[in-house]
Amino acid sequence: MKPEEFNWQENSRAMYDMTIQAAPAFVRPIIKSKLLRELKEKSGDSMEITEAVFMDALKSSTPESKLEKITGQLEKLRTV
């Protein structure tokens, strides 16, 4: 699955890109795979990713200890 397959809404794509770039290079492929799988599950057939859907998928696919660090940065990108 590729990010281009989704219908990104609001600032969700920028949030996705920031999350992937914030991850250490050696774990990026794993994080990307887990996050894309979760986005697919959360968006269903519509493949529409809003900021809320992205944050929900991120919370479901990220360990609690790492979540706090990235969510603060992502909140700055939220438009709704």
pLDDT in tens, 28-80: 999 999 999 999 999 999 999 999 999 999 999 988 888 888 888 898 888 88
- Quick count: other Cβ atoms within 10 Å of Cβ 34? 16
pLDDT at res. 19: 96
CA dihedral 30, 35, 38, 44 (to 10 degrees): -130
Helix (H, G, I), strand (E, B) or coil at 38: helix
Model pLDDT, residue 38 = 97
**What is the pTM (predicted TM-score) of this model?**
0.91
What pLDDT was estimated at residue 31? 93
**What do you get for the CA distance between the two ends of the chain, in Å?**
27
Instruction: Please provide the size of the chain in residues.
Output: 80
Helix (H) and strand (E) counts in the chain: 4, 2
Question: pLDDT class for 1, splitting at 50, 70, 90?
Answer: confident
